[in-house]
Amino acid sequence: WGDMTDLMGSTAHELLAQVLARYGSIDVFIARLHVLLDTPTVVRPAAVVPAAGGRHRLAEPTRRRPMTTAATPRLRG
């Protein structure tokens, strides 16, 4: 467990150092996160469905045929 704790501790310290270097303080970083999370998401319009009859339209459904099972051939020996 010692190696895992050391790794997690060093990673947390590195992350803290990066946050402080970029934002100056944890409070500024958290305020920036709140702004990003509270900003409404831009919703893209729905995709337009092409008119029927194009080259790639779905084929008409076909009638289902019952599956048949073939008898296992007998071996002659």
Q: In whole angstroms, what is the distance from residue 36 CA to residue 15 CA? A: 19
Tokens of 52: 């029927």
- Distance separating the N- and C-terminal Cα atoms of the chain: 67
16 compared with 59, residue with greater pLDDT: 16
6 C-beta neighbours (distance < 10 Å), count: 10
Q: Model pTM?
A: 0.41
Task: Convert the pLDDT of each residue in 20-75 to its tens digit.
Answer: 999 999 999 999 999 988 888 778 788 776 666 556 556 666 666 656 556 555 66
Q: In whole angstroms, what is the distance from residue 13 CA to residue 19 CA? A: 10
